[in-house]
Structure 1
Amino acid sequence: MASLEPLLDQDGVRLTVDDALGTVTLTNPAKRNAQSPALWRALTEAGRALPGSVRVVVLRAEGKSFSAGLDRQMFTPEGIEGEPSLIDLARQDDAELDMTIAAYQEAFTWWRRNDLVSIAAVQGHAVGAGFQLALACDLRVVADDVQFAMLETSLGLVPDLTGTHPLVSLVGYARALEICATGRFVQAAEAERIGLANLAVPGDQLDAAVKDLASALVAAPRDAVIETKALLRGAQSRGYDEQRAAERAAQARRLRDLAGVGE
């Protein structure tokens, strides 16, 4: 990736922009890009800081691991200084706890905006919150050493950082349940076979493969990509006839736009 002046560089997150391509990099390899509320706030801010020119966002991570999940200090009684511990969270009332988790989820939500296509470049461990961050993106390109795992259930918790919906959408209910309930690792070949990964490549080819994919996405007409993404995202919640109608409406907008004819 090109070395560009960052628009944001804080709390283990760096955002750079090169015309239509934005790159969000996790920058704490010494801790295997472990996640914390501060990192989630920085990820949320990265989404807000993206210029309107950006069409494709690549999420990548420095070091051998994409993200090993939650910072282990969050599981200690004292937690992370300045942040609520898990015990503190448990003591919040229902409304406050819901608001706290919803704020954390914002870091995982903006990647699926219709005006963007997001690509996660994943190497090494993508565990728990790391797995869910990769799932937050539209597409995943993985290195051949990747290891996905959803360990929340093994810890007595549930995946709550928006990962359950895309996981079920990608691999189906039964396989998603098995992956989450057992906490087992899913490696590159299986990830590609079951639809978790769009492409698996040798580790030294990961950046090049992501660059090629991003270039192909940017080459397509932006408005057509936006309309297509919206159609595909809505397909699961629509019936067959509703989807047919949505296709007709979207195509009418595209034809009129291309012809310069007002509605």
Structure 2
Amino acid sequence: MAPPALQDATLAMEGRVAMLTLNRPEVRNELTGTRLAAEITEVAEWCSRDERVSVLVITADGPAFSAGGNVKHMLERDQGSFGGDVYEVQAKYRRGIQRMAVAMHGLEVPAIAAVNGPAIGAGFDLALMCDVRIASTRARFAESFLNLGLIPGDGGGWLLQRLVGYQRAAELSFSGRMVEAGEARDLGIVLEVVEPDDLHARARELAASFAAKPPQAVRLTKRLLRQAQRLEFRDHLELCAVVQGMCHNTADHLEAVSAFLEKRPPTFLGR
């Protein structure tokens, strides 16, 4: 299955890891006046379909990870992502940036955000859509919608409180304040903070460790983690029993057990 053709981002495969790089640094990788939201959607959907992919890493070129929405365009009520009457604007959200949120939430493989610089508004929410975030010391984060008289229109209000709890999500959302990389680590927004020159290497290292596991079991684990957020515990256990039955009947499970007992590296085939 061929990967999508991209204009505003680049996509490379490194083994079973897909590396997506946002590539509109001249506009700080904003999501509303570029094709980036649509291309992230295409890549996420492709990763879910193509079983050669086990991990998606999202990073960016330039000083910023993503500035989110284009603030200047918000004054242009007659055009662009924010133009039109109430019906037209809501349709643009549903068919635009919210499609990205849905695709990322439905992504069947682990996603790692390698946050190289500021992730603001919808750019912050894009990082939240990933399973794991690694930040450069130059990264900063802000759920800044209220500063512009807006609400998080791409799911940030749902995502942030599940990561840091309701009270902290409320404080960050109501204040719209900037969070430096170190505080983001302390709050649990990011897993690690590394020097800028080490960011991509660390993200690749982490992605490779995920991709080294049996591909089918990786996808099934991701599915269970997502579904656990909305299932009662006993329902989760019922689902686990079925999925575990699937895993016990894979060739990769037998290879993993054999390799463990024989004290050798496993070779997984994705079946």
Q: If the length of structure 2 is used for normalisation, what is the TM-score?
A: 0.83
Counterparts of 2:106 and 2:13, CA distance in 1: 17
Correspondence list, 1:216-255, <5 A: 216-255=209-248
Q: Give the residue type in structure 2 aligned to 1:72.
A: V
Correspondence list, 1:17-96, <5 A: 17-37=13-33, 38-50=35-47, 51-77=50-76, 83-84=80-81, 86-88=82-84, 91-93=85-87, 96=88
2:194 is aligned with 1:201: yes
CA positional deviation for 1:225:
1.5
2:126 is aligned with 1:127: no
Counterparts of 2:185 and 2:129, CA distance in 1: 17
Decide whether the 8 Å contact of 1:114 with 1:226 is kept in 2: no
User: What is the identity percentage for the equivalent residue pairs of Structure 1 and Structure 2?
Assistant: 32
Counterparts of 2:205 and 2:128, CA distance in 1: 20
Which position in structure 1 is the counterpart of 2:5?
8
- Number of aligned residues: 247
Q: Structure 1 unaligned runs (5+)? A: 1-5
Q: If the length of structure 1 is used for normalisation, what is the TM-score?
A: 0.85
Q: Identify which range, 49-58 or 164-173, moves more after superposition.
A: 49-58
CA positional deviation for 1:112:
3.6
Find runs of 4+ consecutive structure 1 residues off by over 4 angstroms: none
| Aligned with residue 136 of structure 1, among 123, 129, 140 | 129
Decide whether the 8 Å contact of 1:68 with 1:127 is kept in 2: yes
| Aligned with residue 102 of structure 1, among 87, 90, 94 | 94
Decide whether the 8 Å contact of 1:144 with 1:203 is kept in 2: yes
CA positional deviation for 1:231:
1.7
Decide whether the 8 Å contact of 2:4 with 2:42 is kept in 1: no
Which position in structure 1 is the counterpart of 2:269?
none
Q: Give the residue type in structure 2 aligned to 1:183.
A: G
CA positional deviation for 1:9:
3.0
CA positional deviation for 1:171:
0.2
2:131 is aligned with 1:147: no
SS at match of 2:58: strand
